[in-house]
């Protein structure tokens, strides 16, 4: 007798990152079953300025989503959207016309504006209300620049938000203009203690509240696409990775090695007091529950340093070359590379730092520089984790890792040596997309609980400390000396 098995739905995540857009399909076991990708062009109109064309972002979303859906006979249970955070898009909500290129999170054009605000005494307000620092990394001064210098005019038709809102608005045919707390908490306009846009901060930055998106829980049905698929999660990329890594209990932490690196630690449902050098952010907000908070260390350049070695210096032909080249030498032989191309993020928050290479000798070459770039990823992460554990008062017991550079066994061994804890690489490395899919699937009943999601996590490999403590600390001390030389340079 023939038996017709039920058709199992897939959940799709749209991961709109800095370098490209990926549509990613996940089955009910949390396993990836397909993906499509399109690279995004970045535009650099002036030194320190970084932009995207918002229409290019949408075209990449539309193309990858169509390509992925065409590959499956299975129904799609839900779509979750995860995105590069802090990047600002402005558009006319009647016509859909974009009003300026998107200003990307890496952009530094508002550094002087941030410094003036700090000099005028506004940092304590920003720090307490938002958990952030006054830095051009965040969205508020980007929005202010668009309104004062970018030719964007305030009015009832203006929409200004992060990339998640732009994609949702396009997916729903202009029917829904919304965001979630994980993205709102990156704007410097959202009061994380009260869970709402702050009129005081909007007045400070001269950003009209009416131009901002409605805030809804991270997981829940936001709207439907033209072909009836629910859009059921919006979440910032790093918070999505924290969820995808199943860091669902307080004290669990992850690091994503991407263009930059982002260390997040789940600190539970109580908003912590500010920790020096770190950010406090909303991790996610599930319907009917208090929001979950995270401490975050934002490192601006890790994978970006590898790209620079390829594009700027020609040291490597492909990012895949970095591992074998770095492993061809025992250590960097004293070469130390601080990739502060856009200033330094956590725990320094110095927009005036600049990239520095020290310790060069006549014997230094491509291999030593490659090794120094890999070591810099681990050292920067240690700096953040040291600040994090000091701030919360207890040590880290494990770090879960993902992102492109997590394929480097050398990096993860150095990381374990520096942190003195196990470093676990997830079996599914696309944890950002996985987190968005889980959050969307939870809203539509694909998974019944966060406990069910946590049970799906698997590790591929774990690295434990091997190097002597004295060697580890000596190398880190040399790194800190190099950081001191890079700071306050501009």
- Annotate 314-332 with DSSP letters as a single string: -S-SSGGGHHHHHHTSSS-
For residue 230, give the nearest of 352, 337, 81 by alpha carbon: 81
| CB proximity list for 295: less than 8 A, separation 6 or greater | 264, 265, 267, 272, 275, 278, 279, 280, 281, 388, 391, 392
- What's the distance, Cα to Cα, between the start and end of the chain in Å? 76
Average pLDDT over residues 273-277: 85
CB 419, CB 385: distance < 8 Å: yes
Q: Calculate ∠ Cα 477-474-324, nearest 5°.
A: 100
| 77 vs 60: CA distance, rounded Å | 21
- Whether 4 has a pLDDT exceeding 60, the answer reads no
Structure tokens at 429: 């490395």
| 329 domain residue, yes or no | no
| 104 domain residue, yes or no | yes
* pLDDT band with cut points at 50, 70 and 90 for residue 8: low
* pLDDT band with cut points at 50, 70 and 90 for residue 343: confident
- Whether 17 has a pLDDT exceeding 80, the answer reads yes
| 83 domain residue, yes or no | yes
Give the pLDDT confidence of 369-399 residue by residue, as tens digits: 999 999 999 999 999 999 988 888 878 889 9
DSSP codes of every residue in 137-174: TSHHHHHHHHHHTS----STTEEEEEHHHHHHHHHTTT
Give the pLDDT confidence of 50-98 residue by residue, as tens digits: 999 999 999 999 999 999 988 887 788 999 999 999 999 999 999 999 9
| 193 domain residue, yes or no | yes
For residue 167, give the nearest of 202, 213, 211 by alpha carbon: 213
What is the reported pLDDT for 5?
A: 35
Alpha carbon distances (Å) from 160 to 17, 150, 155, 220, 343 = 18, 13, 11, 22, 26
- Please name every residue paired with 12 in a beta bridge, in sequence order, or none if there are none: 25, 79
| 234 vs 227: CA distance, rounded Å | 19
What is the total count of domains within the chain?
A: 1
Give the pLDDT confidence of 189-245 residue by residue, as tens digits: 999 999 999 999 999 999 999 999 999 999 999 999 999 999 999 999 999 999 999
| 189 domain residue, yes or no | yes
- Whether 2 has a pLDDT exceeding 60, the answer reads no
| 217 domain residue, yes or no | yes
| 278 vs 245: CA distance, rounded Å | 21
Q: Is 437 helix (H, G, I), strand (E, B) or coil?
A: helix
- Whether 1 has a pLDDT exceeding 50, the answer reads no
Its domain, for residue 50, covers 10-245
| 357 domain residue, yes or no | no
What is the reported pLDDT for 239?
A: 95
| 350 vs 366: CA distance, rounded Å | 28
**Using the 8-state DSSP alphabet, how is residue 10 labeled?**
E
Structure tokens at 135: 């830095």
What is the reported pLDDT for 404?
A: 83
* pLDDT band with cut points at 50, 70 and 90 for residue 471: very high
Alpha carbon distances (Å) from 456 to 28, 371, 404, 445, 449 = 10, 35, 21, 16, 12
| 328 vs 288: CA distance, rounded Å | 54
User: What is the CATH classification number for the domain harbouring 90?
Assistant: 3.30.420.40
In degrees to the nearest 10, what's the CA dihedral of 343, 200, 131, 338?
0
| 366 domain residue, yes or no | no
Q: Calculate ∠ Cα 484-488-490, nearest 5°.
A: 135
What is the reported pLDDT for 3?
A: 33
10-16: strand order across its sheet: 32-39, 20-26, 10-16, 76-83, 230-236, 219-224
Give the pLDDT confidence of 90-120 residue by residue, as tens digits: 999 999 999 999 999 889 899 899 999 999 9
pTM: 0.87
CB 326, CB 370: distance < 8 Å: yes
* pLDDT band with cut points at 50, 70 and 90 for residue 275: confident
């Amino acid at each position: 007798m023939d038996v017709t098995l039920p058709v199992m739905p897939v959940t799709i995540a749209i991961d709109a990152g800095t370098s490209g857009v990926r549509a990613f399909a996940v089955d009910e076991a949390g396993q990836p079953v397909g993906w499509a990708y399109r690279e995004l062009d970045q535009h650099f109109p002036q030194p320190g300025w970084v932009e995207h064309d918002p229409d290019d972002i949408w075209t990449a979303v539309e193309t990858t989503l169509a390509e992925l859906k065409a590959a499956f006979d299975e129904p799609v249970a839900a779509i979750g959207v995860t995105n590069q955070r802090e990047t600002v898009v402005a558009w006319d909500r009647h016509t859909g016309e974009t009003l300026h290129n998107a200003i990307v999170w890496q952009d530094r054009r508002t550094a002087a504006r941030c410094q003036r605000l700090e000099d005028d005494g506004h940092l304590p307000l920003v720090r307490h209300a938002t958990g952030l620092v006054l830095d051009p990394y965040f969205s508020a001064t980007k929005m202010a620049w668009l309104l004062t210098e970018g030719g964007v005019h305030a009015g009832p038709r203006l929409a200004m938000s992060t990339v998640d809102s732009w994609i949702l608005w396009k997916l729903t045919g202009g029917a829904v203009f919304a965001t979630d707390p994980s993205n709102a908490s990156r704007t410097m306009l959202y009061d994380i203690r009260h869970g709402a846009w702050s009129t005081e901060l909007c007045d400070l930055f001269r950003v009209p509240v009416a131009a901002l998106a409605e805030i809804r829980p991270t997981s829940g049905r936001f709207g439907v696409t033209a072909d009836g698929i629910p859009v059921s999660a919006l979440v910032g990329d790093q918070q999505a990775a924290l969820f995808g890594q199943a860091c669902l209990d307080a004290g669990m932490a992850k690091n994503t090695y991407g263009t930059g690196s982002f260390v997040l630690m789940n600190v539970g449902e109580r908003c912590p007091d500010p920790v020096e050098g770190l950010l406090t952010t909303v991790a996610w907000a599930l319907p009917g529950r208090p929001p979950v908070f995270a401490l975050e260390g934002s490192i601006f350049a890790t994978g970006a340093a590898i790209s620079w070695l390829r594009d700027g210096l020609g040291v490597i032909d492909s990012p895949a070359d970095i591992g074998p080249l770095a492993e061809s030498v025992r250590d960097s032989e004293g070469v130390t590379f601080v990739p502060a191309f856009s200033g330094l993020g956590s725990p320094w928050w110095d927009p005036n730092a600049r990239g520095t290479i020290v310790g060069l000798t006549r014997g230094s070459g491509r291999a030593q520089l490659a090794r120094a770039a890999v070591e810099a990823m681990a050292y920067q992460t240690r700096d953040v984790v040291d600040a994090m554990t000091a701030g919360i008062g207890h040590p880290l017991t494990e770090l879960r890792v993902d992102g492109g550079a997590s394929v480097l066994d050398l990096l993860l061994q150095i990381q374990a040596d520096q942190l003195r804890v196990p470093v676990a690489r997830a079996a599914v490395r696309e944890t950002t997309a996985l987190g968005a899919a889980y959050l969307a699937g939870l809203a539509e009943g694909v998974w019944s609980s966060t406990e069910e999601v946590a049970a799906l996590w698997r590790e591929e490999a774990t690295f434990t400390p091997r190097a002597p403590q004295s060697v580890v600390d000596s190398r880190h001390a040399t790194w800190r000396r190099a950081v001191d030389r890079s700071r306050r340079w501009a």
